[in-house]
Structure 1
């Protein structure tokens, strides 16, 4: 009976995995079969023209890269510092448990709520306006709970004996964390960060209210200007354009580029985890 139950459970898991993979394959075939013909050198490196019915997506690519870099600069240092404090200094008090519960709850808040919060805080209260900076800070807030959680879990994987050995030879707690714990946990931390940033790069709702625009005549010259981004550009071409059927090939091409960027970031994360497992 136990063998039958184990076989049944394994069959259900394998069947669910196969079904998900089949849906993924169908979606990718649909996107790439219709999007690859639209991808050319001009499509990548030119500006949209003639009401976005021709031209390329270069400013949207650059805008996506810039807002992701701003998100990284804001979320990564604060996220890692918060995780180190919670995991290494704060202990297991009731307050710490409440903070961890709040962080996990923040991870489940819909991204549109972060967009509205960014509009209220950064655009209106702090008077930053709809800009690249406001959008980057909003995506940073969205990414913070994931970075904190993954970093703290990575720190927990470092054996306690490693910490005790460092303290036993005279290292302070700060030196132990900086020179022993963080280097060991760094591959897993980087994996979580890359996966989080790949998710942030594909978000539309948080930047919808805070800085993204339908079209700009040039690249953003400063962080106080509006910008174009691949997710919003795809949304406009797919649903809001006055000639949806005419620009549909461009929409598929934009989707392929966006998926490729996210896929490359995920490959980087998987490679880091693979190297980590080989190290273990």
Structure 2
């Protein structure tokens, strides 16, 4: 009698489980299709209106006549310099911090508090970093509105992401690998330098490149720390204001006195920025693929 009741309950539960699986699968697929649809709409809007503007002359020319004519060479140079400064200030500190937390720090309440603080900093709005950079670097350290102040601000914004992704890459290396290196006489530092870091390099570099691609598209942190409305020259000094593609796009789209006149330039700038970010993301995937092929 008990076996009959058990069989009946299983037969009743099977349709419910099947229906639940179909609903879950349909929700996931529907959400994916919806997100991809809006993404394609945005990309098509930018590409269709910006592709006609992008020419070699547009890329290599300086903005002229209050940015109503000319090209975007100055914002491109400023974006490249800003990204390099961000990498210079964030990568060494972020990677070293992740190595210490994962390889040297003891597992106690202080380490857990530091990790929680780092992850919370990843969720802080970028405008807060901009205000902090204004208070610390522009006013506190008296760097003024400059490329250096903006690079330091974006470096702070990038630190939590680099620390988190680097630590996750280090965690993927099994402890048995470390123990084997220590067993043959290697020191802890040699084990990290020669075994752990090379094995986790694909994950570290992928996280770094993706973080820098995000930083290259930020507007709020550089809004108060160094971005300029209009500069008609190619020379960029770390102690001077600069032009950047995201801020240039923001000004053309919302603050320019002749918005309708500069709208094609804004779409061209947006397309260039999308291409730059896409190429940086593609570089990250290529790095990961190359390292994984070498590991095989």
TM-score by length of 2: 0.92
Matches of 1:32 and 1:3 in 2, distance apart? Answer: 43
Query: Contact between 1:35 and 1:249, CA under 8 Å: does it hold in 2?
Result: yes
Matches of 1:173 and 1:7 in 2, distance apart? Answer: 51
Alignment-derived partner of residue 224 in structure 1 = 239
Alignment-derived partner of residue 233 in structure 1 = 248
5+ residue gaps, structure 1, are: none
SS at match of 1:181: helix
Deviations 1:223-245 (A, max 9, x none): 10110000000001001111100
Deviations 1:135-173 (A, max 9, x none): 000000000000000000000000111000000010000
Matches of 2:67 and 2:252 in 1, distance apart? Answer: 8
Structure 1 position 275, deviation (Å): 3.5
- Larger-Rg structure: 2
Query: Contact between 1:133 and 1:223, CA under 8 Å: does it hold in 2?
Result: yes
Matches of 1:140 and 1:178 in 2, distance apart? Answer: 24
Structure 1 position 41, deviation (Å): 1.1
Query: Contact between 1:111 and 1:206, CA under 8 Å: does it hold in 2?
Result: yes
Structure 1 position 3, deviation (Å): 3.1
The structure 1 segments of at least 4 consecutive aligned residues displaced by more than 6 Å after TM superposition are none
Matches of 1:169 and 1:142 in 2, distance apart? Answer: 41
Matches of 1:154 and 1:115 in 2, distance apart? Answer: 29
SS at match of 1:184: helix
Matches of 1:9 and 1:164 in 2, distance apart? Answer: 43
Query: Is 2:129 the partner of 1:114?
Result: yes
Query: Contact between 2:66 and 2:230, CA under 8 Å: does it hold in 1?
Result: no
Matches of 1:261 and 1:223 in 2, distance apart? Answer: 22
What is the RMSD of the two structures over their aligned residues, measured on CA atoms? 1.1
* Equivalent of residue 9 in structure 1, options 24, 43, 51: 24
Alignment-derived partner of residue 8 in structure 2 = none
Matches of 1:219 and 1:141 in 2, distance apart? Answer: 27
Query: Is 2:149 the partner of 1:134?
Result: yes
Deviations 1:241-265 (A, max 9, x none): 1110010000000000000000001
Query: Is 2:28 the partner of 1:27?
Result: no
Query: Contact between 1:188 and 1:276, CA under 8 Å: does it hold in 2?
Result: no
Alignment of 1:77-226 (within 5 A): 77-226=92-241
Query: Contact between 1:220 and 1:227, CA under 8 Å: does it hold in 2?
Result: no
Alignment-derived partner of residue 46 in structure 1 = 61
TM-score by length of 1: 0.98
Query: Contact between 1:219 and 1:227, CA under 8 Å: does it hold in 2?
Result: no
Structure 1 position 272, deviation (Å): 2.4
SS at match of 2:52: helix
Matches of 1:237 and 1:270 in 2, distance apart? Answer: 32
Query: Contact between 1:198 and 1:265, CA under 8 Å: does it hold in 2?
Result: yes
Alignment-derived partner of residue 280 in structure 2 = 265
Q: How many residues align?
A: 280
Structure 1 position 219, deviation (Å): 2.7
Structure 1 position 271, deviation (Å): 1.9
